[in-house]
Amino acid sequence: MVVKKNIKKVPKRETTKSGNASKTEKKLRTQKISSNQRTVQGNAQFSDNSPRSGLTVKAFDRHIGSDDTLPGEAVTDNQGRYSIMYPQEKLGGKSAADLVLMVYSGNKLLQQSDVIFNAQVNETKDFFFPVYVVPEFQRLSDTIAPLIRKKIGLPGLEKNQITFLTKKTGIETQKIEHFLEAEKLSNNNEILSAFYYGLLSENYPTDPVVLLALNRTQIISALRRAELRNVIPSLKKKDLDHIFDTDLPKISAEKYLKS
C-alpha cells in the first residue's frame, strides 16, 4: 500500500513584477534628479593654450538688487577644467539662472564673467589669462648679473663697461644705468632696488630726503604705474611701509652723518 503524502505547494514569489516596478521607480527618481540638475563648466587657460590649474570658480544667479550664491564651487584641475552643478530649486522659481561666474586665486578675484542670461541646462564658459611676463627689473638682473665679476660688483661699473653691456645685451644704456643706480642705492636689498628702479622709470628723484618730503600717495601711484607697465614686480603694502618708515629715514640719517 502506497501512502500519499500531502505536499503543500509553495506559492511562487512575484519577484519579477515587483522587482521591475522597483527598478522603474529608481530609474524615474534618478531621471527626476538629473532633470533638476543644471551644469556650468569650462576651461581656464593661458593665452598660449596651456591650462591654468588651482583656480576657484564660483557661480552666482543674478537678481535685481543682489546675487544669490549657487551651491557648490569648483577648482580647476591639471587640465584647467572645472564643472559646477546646481539644482533648479535654488533659482527661486526662475526657469533658468542668469549666471555670473567669478574666478579666484586664493581670495583675489581674477576675472568675472558677463551675465549669461537664461543659462542653458548645460552651459559652457571658458576663461583666458595672459601669459606671465617677467618684469623688466628682473629681466635686467637675470641678464646683467651673470656678466659681472663679483670683485667689480654691479654698482662699480665704469662708463666703458656700461657701453660693453649695451652692445653685449642689446639693452638700452639708460635702463642699464637706472638698474645700476638702483642697485647702488639699495645696498643689495632687492625690494628696495626694485623700488628705486620703479621711481627712476617714472622720472622721480631717489634722494631719501627729497622722497620723505614728497607726498607718499603720489610716490606709490608712480610705483603702481611702473607695475602696470611691467617695469617692476608688484610691491606689497607692508614692504612699501617698511621702506618709507624705516629704510628711507635710516639712509637719510646715514647720509647726513657722512656729510
Output the pLDDT for position 158: 83
Q: Write down the pLDDT at residue 212.
A: 95
Could you list the residue range(s) of the whole structural domain that residue 115 is in? Answer: 37-129
On whether residue 27 sits in a domain, the answer given is no
181 part of a folded domain? yes
Count of domains forming the chain: 2
Residue at which a domain ends, from 110, 129, 148: 129
Q: What is the pLDDT of residue 92?
A: 81
- Which residues in the chain land under pLDDT 50? 1, 3, 10, 13-19, 21, 24, 27-33, 151
Does residue 28 form part of some domain? no
203-217 burial by CB neighbour count: b if 16+ within 10 A, else e? ebebebeebeeeeee
Verify that 211 and 109 share a domain, yes or no. Answer: no
Question: Does 141 lie in the same domain as 171?
Answer: yes
Domain-located, residue 29: no
62 lies in the same domain as 122: yes
And the C-alpha cell for 98? 542668469
Q: Is residue 31 part of a domain?
A: no
pLDDT of residue 67: 67
Query: What CATH number is associated with residue 58?
Result: 2.60.130.10
Place of cell 637706472: 178
Q: Per residue in 153-191, is it b (16+ CB within 10 Å) or e — as a string?
A: ebeebeeeeeeebbeeeebeeebbbbbbbbbbbbeeeeb
Distance CA(154)–CA(152), nearest Å, equals 7
Q: Please check whether residues 228 and 245 belong to one and the same domain.
A: yes
Is the separation of the CB atoms in 84 and 25 below 8 Å?
A: no
pLDDT digits (tens, 9 = 90+) for 118-160: 999 999 999 999 877 889 999 898 888 778 765 455 556 788 9
Q: Are residues 162 and 114 in the same domain?
A: no
Are residues 158 and 212 part of one domain? yes
Q: 30 lies in a domain?
A: no
66 & 124 share domain: yes
- Same domain? 197 vs 236: yes
In a domain, 119, yes or no: yes
Among 106, 129, 152, the domain-final residue is 129
147 and 238 in a common domain: yes
User: What is the pLDDT at residue 26?
Assistant: 52
What lies within 8 Å, CB to CB, of 125 at 6+ separation is 40, 41, 42, 99, 101, 113, 116
Q: What is the pLDDT of residue 150?
A: 59
| pLDDT of 19 | 46
Residue 51 and residue 144 share a domain: no
Domain boundary among 113, 129, 145: 129
Q: Is 224 within the bounds of a domain?
A: yes
Q: How is residue 151 annotated by DSSP?
A: T
